[in-house]
Structure formats: C-alpha cells, structure tokens
C-alpha cells in the first residue's frame, strides 16, 4: 500500500500526462458528485424555459427540451462513468481467467483453443452485431448493454495477461513454489495476480475508453434507452432537435467538451501508466479507429 502511494506520488511529480490526467479526472469526479445536489429530476423535462443561452442562472444554458444543461450533464457523466466501470469490471473477470489459464497452460491444447477464441473475438465486427441486438431488444437497459459489451471486450486484454503469465511461469520462483508444494490456485492468487495487477489496471482504463466510445456512438444513433441521461444520449437529443441549425450552440458544445475532456484524461492516464509499467506495451492502445 505504501509502495503504491509512493509510486503514484512519483508519477504525479515526474509525468506531466499523469498529472493532467489525475487533475482532469478529479475535476470530472467533483462534477459528478454535484449530481447529488441537483434540484431537478434527471429524467424530467420542460421544467425551465427552453433554449436559453448560458447565463448566471443557467450556467451551461438550457436545452430545447427545457432541461438545465449543467445539472443534466452531472447526471450524464455519472451514468456514463458507471456504465464504463460496469463493462470494465465484468470483462476484467473474463480476461483475467482466460489470460491466466491460457498463460499457465502455455503451449497446450487448452492454450491453443483459448488463443483461437481470443483471435476470433478480436476480429469479430462488434458494431453491426450490437446494432442488430439493439434492434430486436429495444427495451434493453444500460446494465444489460454493459453485460453484452463485457462479453465482447475481453480478448485484447486476455492476450496481454496471457503473455505476462507465460513469462512469469518461466521464472525461478514458480519452480520453487511448485516444488515446495504450493497449489496452482494458491500460486496464481498469491503470486501471479500481484504481478499482473498493473496491466489489469491499465487495460481497465483502456476498456472504459472503448465501452464509453461505443455507448456514445450507439446513443447518438438512438439505440440506447434515450430517457436516461448519458454523455451519448444528451448529444443525441442535441443532434435530434437540430441544435446546430437552431443556433443553440451551447447544447452541443458543452457535451462535446466534456466528452473530449473525459476521454483525453483517461487516455493520458493509460499512456502514462503503460509506459511506466513497460514501454513496449504502449501498443495496447490500438483499438481507436472503430470507436
């Protein structure tokens, strides 16, 4: 724990990316906490005059649906972050189990089969499949969507964990542990998990970037529960009600600014973390284009 705090402190001092990421994310978290003090119900509309530009009374202006954009965004950011965390945690479970098993059984049939599955899921074009799923299951909630995304979001990270475990297995301490009678589970939980923790942390953030990007894309297409404010659905309503054409620029500007701030801070954190863990691992961020 002490070492962890020291590392964070050192990263904060030496790495500009880390510093910016932490500060920006801290700012966003404070913003999220504000949602608990909101005077309005996030799902209601037409409680303030529509389409007012930003002023002291309405900090970010009001939407064309009569909502106070400032308070609406606090909820949207909270819901989006929760969604991202749900996907990340669930897919971490699959990734860790697959990665550790494949790595520990490296070279055997089990490993080959698992790697084959990883390769397959990496290639699978998930976006059309999600669109199809959403079409037939209109009533799907964000939590169910999170489960579905988790089922698709693990292979990249499982491969990384596998590679790490594969190299851990060759180390002397594995032999020592096995010869002194440690069971495999004990070995994995007490030794390996600690070693793969940094990678898991980095890939968690990476996974959030991916799932949040998909959430926003699906929402803007109108394929998520649109009455629940998320970063994506807020943008959806702005586009849907022609905010650009009617001149309500604040309605689309503020969501986009917050989206960019959120993604940039997460991205900076993950690049800083991965180059701290291992400079060679920087290429794990290769999943941008499809978002």
Site string for other proteins, 226-245 (x = CB under 8 A): ---------x---x----x-
Burial class (CB in 10 A: 0-12, 13-18, 19+), 2: exposed
Is 48 or 69 the residue whose CB approaches other proteins more closely? Answer: 69
d(CA 6, CA 24) in angstroms, rounded, equals 21
55 φ/ψ angles, rounded to the nearest 5 degrees: -150, 180
CA–CA gap between residue 65 and residue 251 (Å, rounded): 10
Minimum gap (Å) between residue 50 Cβ and other proteins = 21
Interaction of residue 289 with other proteins, rule CB under 8 A: yes
Write out the binding residues for other proteins, residues 135-174 only, by CB under 8 A: 135-137, 139
Q: Which residue in 93, 122, 178, 197 binds other proteins (CB under 8 A)? A: 122
The nearest distance, CB 233 to other proteins, in angstroms, is: 13
* Contact window for other proteins (CB under 8 A) among 7-15, 62-70, 163-171, 257-265: 257-265
Structure tokens at 40: 């309005």
**Residue 212 found at the interface with other proteins (CB under 8 A):** yes
Smaller CB distance to other proteins: residue 89 or 253? Answer: 253
Is 11 strand, coil or helix? Answer: helix
Tell me the C-alpha distance between 114 and 254, whole Å: 44
Q: How far is CA 68 from CA 55, 60, 100, 219, 290, in A?
A: 11, 7, 48, 20, 32
Helix 142-152 × helix 126-136 angle, to 10°: 150
- 62 or 206, CB closer to other proteins? 206
C-alpha 21 chain-centroid distance: 14
H or E element at residue 39? none
Q: State both tokens at 242.
A: 């022609």
Least Å distance, CB 248 to other proteins, is 13
The binding track of 64-103 with respect to other proteins, each residue x by CB under 8 A or -, is ----------------------------------------
**d(C-alpha 267, C-alpha 288), whole Å:** 11
Give min distance, CB of 262 to other proteins, in A.
Answer: 9
Is the Cβ–Cβ distance between 11 and 276 less than 8 Å?
Answer: yes
Closest approach, Cβ 55 to other proteins, in A, equals 23
Q: How far is the CB of 142 from other proteins (least distance, A)?
A: 16
3-class secondary-structure state, position 68: strand
By CB under 8 A, is residue 222 in contact with other proteins? yes
Q: Is 110 in the site for other proteins (CB under 8 A)?
A: no
CA gap 78, 291 in Å, rounded = 21
From 28-36, 60-68, 160-168, 251-259, span contacting other proteins (CB under 8 A): 251-259
Taking CA atoms, 244 is separated from 89, 97, 210, 213, 247, in Å, by: 37, 47, 27, 22, 5
Q: How far is the CB of 236 from other proteins (least distance, A)?
A: 11
Contact between 181 and other proteins by CB under 8 A: the answer reads no
Residue numbers of the site for other proteins (CB under 8 A)?
A: 116-117, 119-129, 131-133, 135-137, 139, 209, 212-213, 216-217, 220-223, 235, 239, 244, 252, 256, 259-260, 263-264, 266-268, 271, 279-280, 282-283, 285-291
């Amino acid at each position: 724990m002490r070492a962890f705090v020291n590392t964070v402190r050192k990263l904060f001092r030496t790495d500009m990316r880390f510093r910016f990421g932490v500060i920006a994310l801290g700012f966003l978290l404070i913003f999220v906490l504000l949602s608990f003090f909101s005077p309005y119900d996030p799902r209601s509309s037409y409680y303030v005059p529509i389409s007012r530009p930003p002023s002291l009374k309405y900090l970010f202006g009001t939407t064309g649906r009569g909502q106070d954009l400032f308070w609406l965004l606090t909820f949207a950011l909270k819901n989006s972050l929760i969604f991202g965390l749900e996907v990340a945690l669930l897919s971490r479970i699959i990734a860790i189990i697959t990665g550790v098993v494949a790595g520990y059984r490296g070279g055997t049939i089990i490993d080959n089969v698992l790697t084959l599955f990883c390769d397959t899921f990496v290639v699978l074009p998930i976006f059309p499949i999600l669109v199809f799923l959403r079409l037939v299951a209109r009533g799907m909630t964000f939590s169910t969507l999170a489960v579905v995304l988790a089922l698709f979001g693990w292979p990249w990270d499982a491969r990384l964990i596998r590679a790490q475990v594969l190299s851990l297995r060759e180390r002397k301490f594995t032999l020592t542990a096995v010869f002194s009678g440690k069971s495999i589970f004990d070995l994995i939980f007490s030794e390996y998990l600690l070693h793969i923790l940094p990678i898991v942390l980095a890939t968690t953030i990476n996974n959030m970037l991916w799932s949040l990007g998909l959430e926003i894309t699906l929402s803007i297409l109108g394929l998520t529960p649109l009455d629940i404010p998320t970063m994506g659905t807020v943008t959806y309503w702005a586009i849907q009600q022609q905010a650009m054409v009617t001149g309500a620029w604040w309605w689309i500007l503020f969501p986009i600014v917050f989206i960019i701030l959120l993604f940039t801070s997460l991205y900076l954190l993950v690049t800083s973390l991965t180059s701290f863990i291992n400079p060679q691992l920087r290429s794990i961020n290769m999943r941008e284009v499809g978002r």
